[in-house]
Amino acid sequence: IAEQALAVAELSLTAGEIGNVNAVSDAGVAVLLADAAAQSAALNVKINIGWIQDEAFNTGSWARVQEILGETADLRESVMALTYEKLG
């Protein structure tokens, strides 16, 4: 889910940059929902890795989730700034 959330956040940037200016608020909503989905996935991963005995797997999985959260947060900031800028 986190990977898909990141993909939606990336697409929302494209939509905000080149999409119809009258629908730019949709890009803002999409990136906010993508960020919420990534955060939800992170919580799910965090609770479930507690039950897994493989520390290497747990460490790698959590590191990837942290990377996705960072990328999604950066996209959220960019898309929201772009959205508000285009809205005037």
- Span 42-72, pLDDT tens digits: 999 999 999 999 999 999 999 999 999 999 9
Q: What is the pLDDT of residue 3?
A: 93
Of 33, 28, 1, 35, nearest to 13 by C-alpha is: 28
